[in-house]
Structure 1
Amino acid sequence: MTCMKLKLNPIHKDLALRFECSVATVSNIVITWLHVMHVCLYKKFLENQIPTRHKNKTCMPSSFSPFMNCKMVIDCTEIYTEVPSQLDKQKYTYSSYKHRNTLKGLVGVAPNGTITFLSNLYVGNTSDKNIGKHCGVLTSFLAGDLILADKGFLIQDLLPPGVLLNIPPFLMKAQFSPEEARQTVTIARARIHVERAIRRIKEYKILQLIPQNLRPYSSMIFQVCGFLTTLNYPLIKEVEDRYFCE
């Protein structure tokens, strides 16, 4: 029942009819098993289980050949939520980028496309930099590690000593130089995998719109759905034969 709710997001009355129980029972079961899955799956197998850059090298795709010391590719994603009834919450969840009320989370993937970090969800007007600062992801990096990110992650001043950040160059003149254009393409070829991972997470239809009654559990929903995508077929076929290397 809970997996159906996460993947297909049928209304509770539909689930009640299918499983021959009351709507209240459906709500109790879904919330209870959401907590169980969060503890037994996400917290046990994904939280604080970020592989080292040396382990990443055992299954590094060719698109990361210029970034062999990359430990993680990070990006933020926004998830629509119902408009809150309180005016202050309407203000804080309103995203100027999406022009809707959203919740926002950070996703980190290893170079082989495996999700290795999922933050809690923040209100939609939170910047990428502030999420990176407060979600705890930066504490997992050591000197020599490289982070690939989008232009919104201006976090150089927040990084631990010796940790490197690689983001696409900013357009400071009429057009990119040939070297800047090559650099942009090279980073984009590596960064695309985090966007593909995010797309997989959002295939769980419950994340298409978080209703008000589920907003207190939105971070758990996001993290459980993210973990479940790690059970899918490898995101990058090139590294399939090395996917389970020790």
Structure 2
Amino acid sequence: MLKVNHISKMYEDGTKAITDINLHIQNGDIYGFIGANGAGKSTTIKAIVGIHHFNQGEIWIDGYSIKTDPVNCKKRIAFIPDNPDLYEHLTGLQYISFIADIFEVPLTERKQSIEKYSTIFEMTSKLNNSIASYSHGMKQRIALIAALVHKPALFILDEPFVGLDPTASFELKRLMQEHAENGGAVFFSTHVLEVAQKLCNKVAIIHKGSLVKNGLMEEVAGSKSLEEIFMEVRNESKNMDIIQK
């Protein structure tokens, strides 16, 4: 479904953002992507969805190259950033319909999807309100509904639980599990390590722009918690920094 082959990104000042990232997300996977702030999670995700240019490597989505065939790639994904930038002069329904138009979702199909997901995320009564009047959590829910309305094969989410209340978080986790069980795939970053450990079958840990752990959850974590593994990675890095100094 998603292959990230040896991608690296360097900024114009020579700073390395990410180095030699390799990931393989298959149908049925719920793949967690964890790391500290500034580790390279969002940069990697933005490269995958075609927002950021990368200097080396290749990214394939369902067999299509994000470099040479970005339109076919984007037809197959739903991308939810950590802070959705919506058109605030529109109502929630107008925004969802706009996204459905872009993906050429038939009217009958989109109506069913909007009804389904607005009910799940408790937004039915608020769809005709201006997005400018929404809280962050409500904007997040509208972004989710809009992303799901075209039935994407691959969910790519950057910190999707930030701003969601417990009910919306529960429903999103349920939808992610349902999507994977039906043959789709999910790739998401999160700081909520307990959620990642319970939800994901695979996980990658990124630190200072490089992958340090990557694979099946039981192989990466073993008998430990993800929190313990994450702290071990950070402590090892600190010790190396001290030695190098």
* TM-score for the superposition, normalised by structure 1: 0.25
- Structure (1 or 2) with the larger CA radius of gyration: 1
Q: TM-score, normalised by structure 2?
A: 0.25
